[in-house]
Every structure is written in structure tokens, then in C-alpha cells.
């Protein structure tokens, strides 16, 4: 498995390209901006794009969905249905941050923890982690967790936006993420990578050495 990180878009959210060398299939996790940069990486890998997976519906993570759909018309875009309201109001989200609005992203299917998705022979496990938004999810591929804006390096996602809840994000992190294998690498929606083990020890909110 090859993982490429591309910080893109108006707030430099991380878009990830995950490539399976055996089948030459790839998925994109988030579509944060500049679809041509995403395509260039996919072309360089010689990959066939299978899915676009969204961790949640905030504008900075869906900014290039429609542009990616233009380049790859047959590729399906997935999100949890509880974030449909964010997709419907993406222009209002942009305005709130003083950014020019975008058209509503085209979503093909809604997912939940029972949805079965695969990259080659690798199962893509979907973990519903509300707190940053109602429909926030993480994607687990082997020992790689794509956490969106739920969990960052020694930090957590903000909970003061629409659908956010500190109590929910605490439950999601403690009961769904921290119970995973400590060796799992976390690929967050912003910033640098971390690990389950590191966050259990050093997360500012919920780690053993928390500051808050």
C-alpha cells in the first residue's frame, strides 16, 4: 500500500491517495482542492481511481469533489448521511469563513459502519465518530487510520461548529479510536501524522498526560 498526502485547498486540508500496488486501484480520501494535482498523483502511480471517501461534510474537505467528478465521471463519492445537511449548506459554510462559495458537492452514496468497501483485497472499515460533526467517520485500512478532523497530532477537532459536540467527540475518541491497535498510524485531516499509542499518552484533551 502506498499513501500520498496532499495538503490542498483554502485551509490546506489533507487529501490522501491510497494505492494498492497489486490491483493498481486507488482511493481518494477527502477532496480538499486542486483536482488536477490529485489527478497528477494518480497518473504518476498508474492507478485507476475507484472511490472518493469523505470523512465529513465541511467545505474544506469537499472543496474539489465536483472537479474530481468531472475528471472521473464514473467514480463514486461517499459520505455519512448525517452530514447531508452540511453538504446542502456548503455555500453558507464558505461564507462563514469569508471564502467564495462552491456548488453543492455531488454525493453518490451514503455510508455507515455496515457498508462494505474494499481497495483491492483490503477492507475499508468505516468507524462512525461523531463530535466534530454528526456524520464524521474515520476510515481504517490495515494499520492506517484516516481520522478526518476528529483526531489530530496531540489535538482534537473543534466542536463549536454546526453539529459539533465535545461529549460526543470524547466518546468517539475514547471508545472507538483509543481501543484500536496502538501501532496504528493516524493520518489526520490537517497537520502531521501521529499514532494511537502517541495520542493515548500525549493527546492534549484525552491523553494520559492531557493538558486540559
- What does each of the 212 residues of the chain score in pLDDT, given as a tens digit? 999 999 999 899 999 999 999 999 999 999 999 999 999 999 999 999 999 999 999 999 999 999 999 999 999 999 999 999 999 999 888 888 888 888 999 999 999 999 999 999 999 999 999 999 999 999 999 999 999 999 999 999 999 988 899 999 999 999 999 999 999 999 999 999 999 999 999 999 999 988 77
> Which cell is 94 given?
464558505
Torsion of CA 66, 68, 71, 74, to 10 degrees: -80
- Which of 130, 117, 118, 112 minimizes the C-alpha distance to 177? 130
Write down the pTM of the prediction: 0.96
- DSSP class of 196: H
2-202 has CATH 3.30.950.10 classification: no
Amino acid at each position: 500500500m502506498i499513501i500520498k498526502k496532499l495538503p490542498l485547498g483554502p485551509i490546506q486540508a489533507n487529501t490522501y491517495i491510497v494505492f494498492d500496488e497489486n490491483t493498481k486501484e486507488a482511493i481518494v480520501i477527502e477532496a480538499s482542492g486542486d483536482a488536477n494535482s490529485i489527478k497528477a498523483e494518480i497518473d504518476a502511480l498508474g492507478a485507476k481511481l475507484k472511490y472518493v471517501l469523505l470523512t465529513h461534510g465541511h467545505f474544506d474537505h469537499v472543496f474539489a469533489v465536483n472537479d474530481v467528478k468531472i475528471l472521473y465521471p464514473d467514480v463514486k463519492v461517499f459520505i455519512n448521511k448525517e452530514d447531508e445537511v452540511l453538504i446542502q449548506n456548503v455555500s453558507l459554510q464558505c461564507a462563514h469563513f469569508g471564502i467564495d462559495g462552491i456548488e453543492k458537492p455531488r454525493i453518490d452514496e451514503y455510508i455507515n459502519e455496515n457498508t462494505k468497501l474494499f481497495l483491492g483485497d483490503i477492507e475499508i472499515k468505516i468507524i462512525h465518530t461523531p463530535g466534530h460533526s454528526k456524520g464524521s467517520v474515520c476510515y481504517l485500512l490495515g494499520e492506517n487510520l484516516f481520522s478526518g478532523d476528529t483526531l489530530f497530532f496531540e489535538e482534537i477537532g473543534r466542536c463549536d461548529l454546526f453539529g459539533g459536540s465535545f461529549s460526543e467527540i470524547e466518546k468517539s475518541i475514547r471508545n472507538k479510536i483509543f481501543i484500536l491497535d496502538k501501532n496504528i498510524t493516524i493520518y489526520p485531516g490537517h497537520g502531521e501524522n501521529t499514532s494511537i499509542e502517541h495520542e493515548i499518552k500525549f493527546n492534549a484533551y484525552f491523553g494520559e498526560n492531557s493538558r486540559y
